Every structure is written in C-alpha cells, then in structure tokens.
Amino acid sequence: MGLVLDGVRRDVGAQTHIHETTLRLPPGTMTVLLGATLAGKTSLMRLMAGLDRPTSGRILVNEGGRERDVTGLPVRERSVAMVYQQFINYPNLSVFENIASPLRVKGLPKAEIEGKVRAMARLMQLEPFLERMPLNLSGGQQQRTAMARALIKGADLVLLDEPLANLDYKLREELREELPKIVRMSNATVVYATTEPQEALLLGDHTATLWEGRVTQHGPSTEVYRRPQDLITARIFSDPPLNILPVTKRNGELLLPGGASASATGALAGLADGDYQVGFRAHHLGLRAMAGPSLRFDGTVTVAEITGSESFVHVECAGFRWVALAPGVHELEPGAPITVHINPATVFVFDLSGGLAHAPAFLSAA
C-alpha cells in the first residue's frame, strides 16, 4: 500500500503546525523524515496515521493502482502501526504477550503465533526476556518490545518516530542494518523520523527534510544530501553543522570578510558578480595545505574533540566559528593558532535568498 499526502495542511488555533505538503510514498520503501526537534516530524506522522485530521488537503492510500481517500477514516480502521520514542507497552502483559497481541487480534493459530513471536524476539534480541513484564525491563528492552509489536503486526503503514534514540550504540547499529531488510520483506510503507543525517543516509530510500512545519525537499536520500536545493536543507542534512562564509564575487575575485580576497577559480569563476553565502561540510575543511587552488584562512582553535580515528576541530576564522572533521588524532590546545584550507571545488554556493546557485559537480552525480 502506498501513501499520498495531497496538499495536506494542519492548523491548530492560529498556529500552522504543518504547511501545505504533498508527498507520494511508494510501498516497500522507507522514507525518512529528517529535521530538528519541533520541525514537525511527529505532527506529519499523526496526520499519516489518522490520529489528527488535516485542516485542508487529502490523505490517500494506493491499493493495487487505485487511490482511496482515507482523510476522515479513524486510525482503528486503517492498517497502521506506530512506534514513538517514548515506548508504550501493555504493563499487565508479558513481553511475549505484548508482541503476540496484534496476532491474537487477527485470530491466528497458536502455533503460528508462537513461531512468529519467537522469530521477532530473536531479531530484537528479546528471547531471554519473553516471560518478563515490561516494568522489569530496561528502557532499551521496553523500546525493542514496542518495536517488535509494531513490526509483527504486518501493517501496510509503519510509522517509526525516533525509535532507536533510547537504545545503546551497539544495538542501534544492528537494528539500523536490519530495518531495511524488514521493510523489503514486508512491502509496507515505512516512515522513519530522526534528527540525525547519518541515519537518513543509512536507512532511507528517500528523505524528506523538515523545517518549522515545512517539507523543504523530498527525494532519494543521497540526492537530497548531495544537492540540497536551498541553504535550509543543506543545514538540516549536515552534521556537524554546515560551515558558512559570506562572500562577494566581483571582477574574478572573491571578496572575503575582514578585507581579504582570493581568485574565483573553477566553477566559482562562472558565478555572476554579486553577494553569496558559501557552505561547506566539516570533512571539506582541511587542516593541511591542498594540492591545487584553495582558500586559506588563519584562525585559532576553540576546542578539539578526539573520537579515535578522527578529530572534530572547532576553529574561529574571519569572525566565524567552523568545524573541521580531520582523520587521525589532533591534540590542539584551545587558543592555538591554526591555518585551515577550503577547496573551492567542494563548496555549495547559495544566493542571499538561500537558493542553491552552485553545487559541487562531483557531489551531484548519482
């Protein structure tokens, strides 16, 4: 079953929680809703589920090539399963019975329920806890129980609202690997909300970026990441945060803050004269001189975070705070002088309205 949002809008009093949105989500795919807290991800999911009714627009399901309007249909009459970040289980039922409950409602035979529950418990690493009550579980175990109950239901639409946020790192990585397999096997339409760009790239066939109740872009996840159509989308899809530098292009020169200038080389040479904002991700800010043309900035270290195989180096240059993601261990003291380098071929260029004026050609390729 596919899902279509056709011009859907949600107002609550004088506030607009979801601006007019049109999305088409095909069956057997996972669409990631990516955005900061309060961007509108949960509000959009509640509309998809039928928990809230849109102020305007329609919600359609595509069944066998035919679209059916379910805008006013209550959630209990839809084939929907939903998991929130705040896990919800039946406290008076064991883990086994929590997971089995949707199958018992369907009236499946006892032996079939037993097999399906134990298979799902193995996937979610819950086998040792099947006889326990939810209140005797850790937070992560309770969340896995809620996810298992939702996934075993076999719903046509599965909504996962930051479901891995409360899990430990190792289990989170394992479930990130397993979830796409479950989606392909089930042929369900799966929507997954997250604040983490990395999860969108790992999980999503498609990503919709959200900002203040608006979908800023929707498409294949790698394409949205590689070619954001505006500055807001680029910021949503960058972690660490996108580094920004205002520049003015004039007569073949880039005029930089503080009175510095540099030659406009490569694709930047083709920009019309005017004011722009240059954006570049942390792994494109180098700590060493680069081969070929580059923009060089002298600054100071504000903090260096060593993660093991790489370091996040926060620097202040030209009055701006940037983050460099550098391979290896870099033990740099706060306040130490540093020179950083930007390859013009790796930058995004946005006009003053925030629209994309230039994307790196090597990033735009599929």
**67 and 210 part of one domain:** yes
In this predicted structure, what is the pLDDT of residue 331? 87
Q: Which token pair is 140?
A: 């992560």
**246 and 226 part of one domain:** no
Contact 57, 16 (CB under 8 A): no
Domain endpoint, select from 235, 264, 282: 235
In this predicted structure, what is the pLDDT of residue 284? 93
**138 and 77 part of one domain:** yes
CATH value at residue 147: 3.40.50.300
Amino acid at site 284: H
**165 and 273 part of one domain:** no
**193 and 339 part of one domain:** no
**Count of helix runs (H) and strand runs (E) in the chain:** 9, 21
Structural domain range at position 121: 2-235
**What is d(CA 331, CA 304) in angstroms, rounded to the nearest whole number?**
7
**103 and 123 part of one domain:** yes
In this predicted structure, what is the pLDDT of residue 141? 87
**10-residue mean pLDDT series, the chain (366 residues):** 93 96 91 96 95 95 83 87 85 96 94 95 91 90 88 89 82 80 78 94 92 97 95 96 93 83 78 93 90 84 91 91 93 93 90 92 46
Contact 148, 74 (CB under 8 A): no
In this predicted structure, what is the pLDDT of residue 362? 53
Domain endpoint, select from 235, 251, 273: 235
In this predicted structure, what is the pLDDT of residue 361? 66
Domain endpoint, select from 235, 267, 283: 235
In this predicted structure, what is the pLDDT of residue 364? 42
**225 and 256 part of one domain:** no
**8 and 155 part of one domain:** yes
* Residues sharing a CB contact under 8 Å with residue 2, sequence separation 6 or more, in sequence order: 24, 25, 26, 27, 61, 62, 189
Residue-level length of the chain: 366
**What is d(CA 95, CA 181) in angstroms, rounded to the nearest whole number?**
23
**119 and 263 part of one domain:** no
**195 and 263 part of one domain:** no
In this predicted structure, what is the pLDDT of residue 67? 86
Q: Provide DSSP, 293-346.
A: --EEEEEEEEEEEE-SSEEEEEEEETTEEEEEEEES-----TT-EEEEEE-GGG
CATH value at residue 309: 2.40.50.140
Q: Which token pair is 67?
A: 């679209």
**42 and 114 part of one domain:** yes
**225 and 324 part of one domain:** no
Structural domain tally of the chain? 2
